Amino acid sequence: MTKLSVNINKIATLRNSRGGNVPNVLSTALSCERFGAEGITVHPRPDERHIRYQDVYDLKAEITTEFNIEGNCQEQKFIDLVLANKPTQVTLVPDILGQITSNHGWDTIKHQAYLKEMVSLFQNEGIRVSIFVDPIEEMVEAAATTGTDRIELYTEAYAAEYGFNKEKAIKPYFKAAQKAREVGLGLNAGHDLDLNNLAYFNQHIPGLLEVSIGHALIADALYLGLEETIKRYLAALKA
């Protein structure tokens, strides 16, 4: 079954808006695990507007499921953070400074040499590497030449189109997934997946190993409660 990794950035955003330590990021992560999540994802940024660097150390010390750190490997501080904590997986995302949220994948053709260097750096420390890419077959194929273990498909376009034409929405992702399988890459996905569109995506994407979901899941938890929300997301992945 496709694994659910819960991105807890929004918990940190809420905590930081008031100061103090409520809600508690670590306690939330441990609750997510207890309720069935198979992984915890964080995406620290240089301004620490949500996940703080210290949060990463605190989480690494306590969580028992897979730990996924996303971020921009063009920042030395991010590289140092990942190497110090040795998560299960690092997901390389081409953010720029001050970016609100991730909004595009890597150009794996243009940045092939650089990505190859970064992939090797993390793999040599025993860290699985995933590269964030758009659902473009050429980008998937070029990602494979970097030596990465996996790619993560950026799913905002799918989510935006799903309500109008789900068959059209899924088509480029299906093709990208087929290409990933052809070139021997593991496959993750994330961004704007929710209870409305997740089951269809999972059913139509061959070889999907993991989805990382934060914003929608935390928003749903405001209405449903965290435990019930995680149960529903897991059910969608089993549908």
Q: What are the catalytic residues?
A: 43, 70, 191
CA distance 95 to 104: 8
Given its phi and psi angles, is residue 134 left (phi above 0), alpha (psi -120 to 50 degrees) or beta? beta
- Residue 69's DSSP bridge partners are 42, 90
Beta strands in the chain (DSSP E): 3-7, 39-42, 66-71, 89-92, 128-133, 150-154, 186-190, 208-213
